[in-house]
Structure 1
Amino acid sequence: MKNIKRVILMVMDSVGIGELPDAGDYGDQGAATLQNIAAEMNGLKLPNLEKIGLGKIETINGIKSELKAEGAYGKAAEKSRGKDTTTGHWEIAGLISKTAFPTYPDGFPKEVMNKFEQEIGRGTLANKPASGTAIIEELGEEHLKTGKPIIYTSADSVFQIAAHEDIIPVAKLYDYCKKAREILQGEHAVARVIARPFVGEPGNFERTERRKDFSLTPPEPTILNLLEDQGLEVNAVGKITYIFNHSGITSSVTTSDNMDGVDKTIEYLDQTEKGLIFSNLVDFDQNYGHRRNVEGYAAALKAFDQRIPEITAAMRDDDLLIITADHGCDPTHQGTDHTREYIPLLVYGKGVKHDLNLGIRDSFSDIAATIADIFEIDNFKTGESFKTDLIRD
């Protein structure tokens, strides 16, 4: 298989595989999302990821390491500053961020909030770091009474706006996000402004699927832009299109959960002729990592593992599957933040060498470099391609 026509790049959001050498700078000593979940659960059973080579990257309780892998395996370090969704995905796409995005552990400054309230014509609630589900339980009733949107952040570089759909219609909430995005530039250029609509009554609030991210546009072209320039398809599943602010994306679909993300990826495999299918599976991070739910995280890993045979069955002989992550979010670690970790690298395809150790990659951007190599994009300057090592003669 010398000519790969399609690359399926699936990001298991936050599924890290051990602390990076600089984890101490981020307070993340001892973080190891996969290994620590496996230890807490007295072993994980992920037979399909195991077959590709997961247990050969690191020792993970329950995952076999002695078998001959049916794919290639390794792990990659993050060169970018930070440990969030945007820096991770941008680096996977070949853009290394030398400066971390701003975060607001004490809430946003008055200059930002005053401008925002003036723009939307009403006051706001909260302005503090919080869990999304906890903050609407705490302030949802007051929001219903006052009509003030709930503003909150997290350890990530985000400005989140929660509003009940009956109080602030979704279209107006999106407009508020656009106004916030215009304000949050320069020193306050957070990675993402996020609309967080919810429904229900006090004691029974529920966030809806109409979440929407308003991200920064990458400051330089990524592999997505270069593929698009070559006339290739760049099909995005889940929040990928928002992470790149639609830049370099030729087609996109939103998803409701991980299983929907797998479904949409398989649908693209039926439709895509040549190019990249780039998918994000957000449940690991959003539903289980940040909420420090070890059991839920383990169940989500098992559910994804069970779908891998469907993905590989839908692949053609000239397809390449890359399964990776964007950072860690160890649910056994203190706090609710992401964790600074290596990401796993699992590669599968008919022409991929079996049991190939790709080693420790210096940067997530080696993935982008490999994709550039596959599609013969010249002068890609970030990362180191592993295509030559990967493909059988």
Structure 2
Amino acid sequence: MENINRVILMVMDSVGIGELPDAADYDDQGAATLQNIAAEIGGFNLPNLEKMGLGKIEDIEGVSSELEAEGAYAKAAEKSKGKDTTTGHWEIAGLISENPFPTYPEGFPAEVMDQFHEAIGRDSLANRPASGTVIIEELGQKHMETGKPIVYTSADSVFQIAAHEEIIPVEEIYDYCKKAREILRGEHAVARVIARPFVGEVGNFERTERRKDFSLTPPEPTVLNHLKDEGLEVNAVGKITYIFNHSGITHSVATSNNMDGVDKTLAFMDSMEKGLVFSNLVDFDQNYGHRRNVKGYAEALKNFDQRIPEIKAAMRDDDLLIITADHGCDPTYPGTDHTREYVPILIYGENVIKNLNLGIRNSFSDIAATIAEIFDLDVEISGEKIEFI
């Protein structure tokens, strides 16, 4: 594919498009993030995703299936075991995970917490699954009175440490995370340890942008490593660099929200000569999916949809845009967990055949195999390349 020199890969975090055949194994029968949100709000108004072919993948209220798509479209199944952010992104980059990461619905066992308390020289609060904003409201005052950090998890494979920046300085919170990362190995190797600093007064706490993730390094090279080894740019936007523990990344920028993620993606597009921009738009998942905020999720989709013309206008003739997701997180579904779903794949560019139905892909890793083909990488990558030219 010598006519493509740059790939812009954007992950709409958690924007699933219907339950997978094995959804029952994950208690996710009936989950369908896009379809169920659309039904609950009386239909979407997403004209730009519609033009790209979103309504041709599945029936979604308010999204037409009759328009001729401006590019190619498909949906992909997750081949890995699990339904978390790390597993999904690793598979997009060509790495299939045979075993799901551990989760802790009852909190972390004493063998983990005892080591952690010894390592940091103090006890902690909570040790249970919780919403990050709720847990600091509940325990923020006690944390400030005792100096004990708040340790919590979620339905994801995460060990999160929240602390007020005036009680435990940010660098010390990061140090606690590094100590936890050393402890959480083997059977307790969670996907991510996350620092969650916050500020403010009791009753008015606010998490800051100094969040930091301490992730596992992928056990094998991904397409990102192979691109970097060839001297190509791999530009990471948002939490991408943390998901891969900085492995295979040449440049990275943090983001404060989805719109900032789009801005940072556009900035890389303005400067990059050859390579990949890999962006994660986290708000869908973090702010709306887990919190079961249907209207907020729908509004976030609308806001992203309105930026798509700007992204297209910034594209060169040798660019390829891929918009996809990493799992589902249906806010209409019981519970606050991710949901085991197909993800949409929308492909757009000067070289892409218009209105091309690419069917059902067997793995997210088809995206990695396609990127490897585009850049003529002589490597073995899981997945089957997508033919869209």
TM-score, with structure 1 as normaliser: 0.98
**Structure 2 counterpart of 1:360, one-letter code:** I
Contact 2:368–2:381 at 8 Å: present in 1 too? no
Hey, what's the Cα distance between the residues in 2 that align with 1:131 and 1:125? 14
RMSD: 0.7
2:341 is aligned to 341
Hey, what's the Cα distance between the residues in 1 that align with 2:381 and 2:113? 40
**Structure 2 counterpart of 1:106, one-letter code:** E
Hey, what's the Cα distance between the residues in 1 that align with 2:90 and 2:314? 27
Hey, what's the Cα distance between the residues in 1 that align with 2:4 and 2:380? 18
User: Following TM superposition, by how much is the alpha carbon of 1:351 offset from its aligned partner in structure 2, in angstroms?
Assistant: 1.1
Q: How does 1:21-36 map to 2 (within 5 A)?
A: 21-36=21-36
Hey, what's the Cα distance between the residues in 2 that align with 1:168 and 1:18? 43
Q: Is the counterpart of residue 183 in structure 1 residue 179 in structure 2?
A: no
1:73 is aligned to 73
Secondary structure of the corresponding residue to residue 390 of structure 1: coil
* Alpha-carbon displacement from aligned partner over 1:228-251 (angstroms, at most 9, x marks no partner): 011100000000000000000000
Hey, what's the Cα distance between the residues in 1 that align with 2:379 and 2:132? 43
Hey, what's the Cα distance between the residues in 1 that align with 2:133 and 2:25? 29
* Alpha-carbon displacement from aligned partner over 1:57-109 (angstroms, at most 9, x marks no partner): 00000000011000100000001000000000000000000000000010000
* Alpha-carbon displacement from aligned partner over 1:41-72 (angstroms, at most 9, x marks no partner): 10001000000100000000000001100010
2:113 is aligned to 113
* Alpha-carbon displacement from aligned partner over 1:236-285 (angstroms, at most 9, x marks no partner): 00000000000000000000000000000000001100000000000000
2:96 is aligned to 96
**Structure 2 counterpart of 1:115, one-letter code:** Q
Hey, what's the Cα distance between the residues in 2 that align with 1:262 and 1:204? 29
* Alpha-carbon displacement from aligned partner over 1:177-210 (angstroms, at most 9, x marks no partner): 0000000000100000000011111111111111
**Structure 2 counterpart of 1:191, one-letter code:** A
**Structure 2 counterpart of 1:273, one-letter code:** E
1:137 is aligned to 137
Q: How does 1:1-393 map to 2 (within 5 A)?
A: 2-386=2-386, 389-391=387-389
User: Following TM superposition, by how much is the alpha carbon of 1:380 offset from its aligned partner in structure 2, in angstroms?
Assistant: 2.3
Hey, what's the Cα distance between the residues in 2 that align with 1:177 and 1:365? 30
Hey, what's the Cα distance between the residues in 1 that align with 2:94 and 2:362? 12
**Structure 2 counterpart of 1:325, one-letter code:** A
Hey, what's the Cα distance between the residues in 2 that align with 1:311 and 1:173? 37
**Structure 2 counterpart of 1:127, one-letter code:** N
Could you list the structure 1 runs, at least 4 aligned residues long, displaced by more than 4 angstroms after superposition.
Answer: none
Unmatched segments (≥5 aa) in structure 1: none
* Alpha-carbon displacement from aligned partner over 1:211-239 (angstroms, at most 9, x marks no partner): 11000000000000000011100000000
Hey, what's the Cα distance between the residues in 1 that align with 2:26 and 2:206? 32
Aligned length: 389
Secondary structure of the corresponding residue to residue 17 of structure 1: coil
Hey, what's the Cα distance between the residues in 1 that align with 2:234 and 2:101? 26
User: Following TM superposition, by how much is the alpha carbon of 1:2 offset from its aligned partner in structure 2, in angstroms?
Assistant: 4.2
TM-score, with structure 2 as normaliser: 0.99
Hey, what's the Cα distance between the residues in 2 that align with 1:352 and 1:2? 13
Contact 2:372–2:381 at 8 Å: present in 1 too? no
**Structure 1 counterpart of 2:388, one-letter code:** L
**Structure 1 counterpart of 2:226, one-letter code:** L
Unmatched segments (≥5 aa) in structure 2: none
Hey, what's the Cα distance between the residues in 2 that align with 1:23 and 1:347? 26
Contact 2:93–2:368 at 8 Å: present in 1 too? yes
Hey, what's the Cα distance between the residues in 1 that align with 2:296 and 2:2? 40
Contact 2:76–2:360 at 8 Å: present in 1 too? yes
Contact 2:137–2:205 at 8 Å: present in 1 too? yes
Contact 2:3–2:351 at 8 Å: present in 1 too? no
**Structure 2 counterpart of 1:139, one-letter code:** L
Hey, what's the Cα distance between the residues in 2 that align with 1:254 and 1:133? 20
Percent identity reads 79
Secondary structure of the corresponding residue to residue 353 of structure 1: coil
Hey, what's the Cα distance between the residues in 2 that align with 1:209 and 1:101? 26
Hey, what's the Cα distance between the residues in 2 that align with 1:30 and 1:202? 40
Hey, what's the Cα distance between the residues in 2 that align with 1:205 and 1:22? 40
Greater Cα offset, 200-209 or 268-277: 200-209
